[in-house]
A and B are shown apart, each in its own frame.
Chain A
């Protein structure tokens, strides 16, 4: 049951609202403001107005110092107007009707501060995942860059349509045409089209690519190159690390379970940030999950990270876990030390492959829930490449990878050799989305709004990423040597990396839903 909270009343904690149902979460929401990006219940409108008035009065009473007081404020989730206004009032120590001794700290209050006693603390209603028609799964965001290449795109789409309708002889003729047109098309469009044409050809001739076909060390090279030459992985690691750092500010020990260790590129930066923590670093334990074929690599990586930890003065422990499938993980495979460590589960692009087997994602998320992490960081591609209809997947992927390739084209500093490697890295994804099926189709990207529903159903609540993470991610992008077109966007507590106006990567953070935290 949802009730609005008044500052004066002491109420029991409201049950958290699951993100799964669109209708349930939207009760009483002011529709006009919702379209403009603000979630305010009609029944809360007067209360929100009052908060804004109070803020106005507090700020105008002494313009000089009050502005300074809010200069370093970290803002969270501007869509939640009530929460936003409330946070600022707290920051200014303005509690007209509250007992000030109840408030434990001056950070913007998030749901369920651990430091306050559960029955008397100031709870705000959690509005949960926001379902709306504007950012629903059926949004097709298109950025047109070149007006040339129309014939090429037409041929590609026509070919995909022929494949969809199983008119393989027509498809065959068209794919050859695409190949010809692509060869004479300059720039990103030509390259993207070449990969899509190859993928279509494989589909037509039923040469389904196997996801296990690639040599792991080549895979490693591709990924590292991709990491270096464009900001996508850097953004993913950076925002996940920001969320982790914020969750462990007072921890004496941190244990990260990384669901996809790969080359461990995310962890040096986190360790360095921990090392610099005022008051000294926590101990840092990393459990890296990888595949069997990578077993030696994992151990070596652990050793290298240990050397780094030693050099920077961070107490460090490492264990490697190998599994062919993340859904095979069981809670008892992880040694957790809840009394001395804050547990983090981290997944950067590791969840979507699990969707290739029915039931697996639910099992994995149940395992994650069972180890009782304080925070779960999730970064995924912002696209729906997992629709049931081939043609829809094709069109989505065409838009998505066109934007990605275009962003690579724009980079001032990327040597062409590195760009080629990045394109190969992405090209393999394209092949998989278009030509693979069943268990082999692992690039089953889904949008943030889809992931929100899954996480909500699995028993997780969102943790908002704030304006400081936003700002630093923006600065990181500016320094990454890529083009001018990268943007960070805030979306209802999550952060997205966009190329121009097209979101490409979404980073979110999660914690166990309220009733599970006790």
Chain B
């Protein structure tokens, strides 16, 4: 119905700056072209449209980056971002010099894209990771995990787990204070979901993760929540597209009660008594899946876990992609505080 579509478009335009609106609308349009009704995905067109940037061992704004093949079998790649020292750019042999500091946080980052879109070398995520380096004085390792629908659950989690292990055992990432790697997990959208699930594995295997950062994490469930009904189609996202991505990610035949989708639903294991990392959960007030995200934060709290919820009433999805709004700065400050709390 053209009438209500028009209203939706105008509404979303009033809550974000124009260039943000153009950026996210562009993604929305492109993504609509890529999802096919039969559940397949136009991967070639997706890769053609995605704006990518190479790694750069020459520092730009105090950050340099390089790519590492973590696992040749699966072609698992990660992009490592490091703060640059004063002086000449690092040579190829300097790239994995030991980190310099009593405590140097290492953030393992999982980009968003609803499990199907984007890569570690997507421009939007390269930019975000670079910011995190300066913000937190951290090394950031961005995981180029395998995506749906070609690679369903649990591939993305397996890849995250592989990189976590690699990070944990990399001697050059160890902080001087205790000769250990100080690890945080961070991610947006599907990346937030991966954070939770990789943290679960870490807990079960005794790898110490110091904190989880979830930006607009992607969770769901079979019921239609109030926020999904109220905000469907209003701010760039529809329930229909959310359903498509879950169908693409979850094992065939599964529904959204699957614990990967619904971590505090009817089929999930309790977190009570586990030494789960402290969590920072950021929820955008105009994100239609917020009820699931709020349920997640509640679930953590009820299980006796340390969770800080940051609810940004007027924020839409993707607000953290451009530094042109207050929410962006609020969240960046919170993330910095969250990571640096460990460094006292």
Contacts and interface: CB of A to CB of B under 8 A. Distances in A.
B23 A36 contact: yes
Interface string A71-98: 0000100110100010000000000000
A141 B69 contact: no
Contacts of A36: 23, 51, 123-124, 127, 321-322
Contacts of B29: 52, 55-56, 59, 85
B13 interface: yes
Interface string A238-276: 000000000000000000000000000000000000000
A502 B54 contact: yes
B33 A48 contact: no
Interface residues of B, number: 54
Contacts of B314: none
Contacts of B13: 49
Contacts of B324: 32
Contacts of B323: 32
B69 A49 contact: no
A78 B48 contact: yes
A500 B55 CA distance: 11
B207 interface: no
Contact of B92 (A45, A78, A398): A398
Nearest to A70: B33
Nearest to B233: A60
Interface in A131-156: 133-135, 138-145, 147, 150, 153-154
The size class of the interface chain A forms with chain B is: 35 or more
B22 A40 contact: yes
Contact of B123 (A35, A46, A81, A490): A35
Contacts of B26: 38, 52, 81
Nearest to A502: B54
Contact of B55 (A46, A138, A143, A145): A143
B92 A395 contact: yes
A33 interface: yes
B5 A75 contact: no
Given A45-B18, A45-B22, A61-B2, A134 B92 contact: no
A366 interface: no
A134 B21 contact: no
A57 B23 contact: no
Contacts of B72: 145, 410
A501 interface: yes
B127 A143 contact: no
B77 interface: yes
Interface string B61-103: 0000011110010010101000000000101110110000000
B77 A501 contact: yes
A470 B44 contact: yes
B315 to A, nearest CB: 17
B25 interface: yes
Contact of A56 (B9, B45, B52, B127): B9
A52 B21 CA distance: 10
Nearest to A53: B9
Contact of B75 (A32, A78, A485): A485
A208 interface: no
Contacts of B47: 470, 474, 487-490
A140 B21 CA distance: 32
Contacts of B2: 57, 60-61
Given A33-B23, A56-B25, A139-B56, A500 B69 contact: yes
Interface string B24-46: 01101110110001000000110
Q: Please give me the 6 A-B residue pairs with the lowest Cβ-Cβ distance, nearest first.
A: A37-B51, A141-B54, A471-B44, A37-B123, A140-B57, A142-B66
9 contacts: A35-B127, A40-B22, A56-B9, A139-B58, A141-B57, A142-B67, A150-B93, A490-B47, A500-B69
Interface of A: 30, 32-33, 35-38, 40, 42, 45-46, 48-49, 52-53, 55-57, 59-61, 67, 70, 75, 78-79, 81, 85, 133-135, 138-145, 147, 150, 153-154, 157, 395, 398-399, 410, 467, 470-471, 474-475, 484-485, 487-490, 500-503
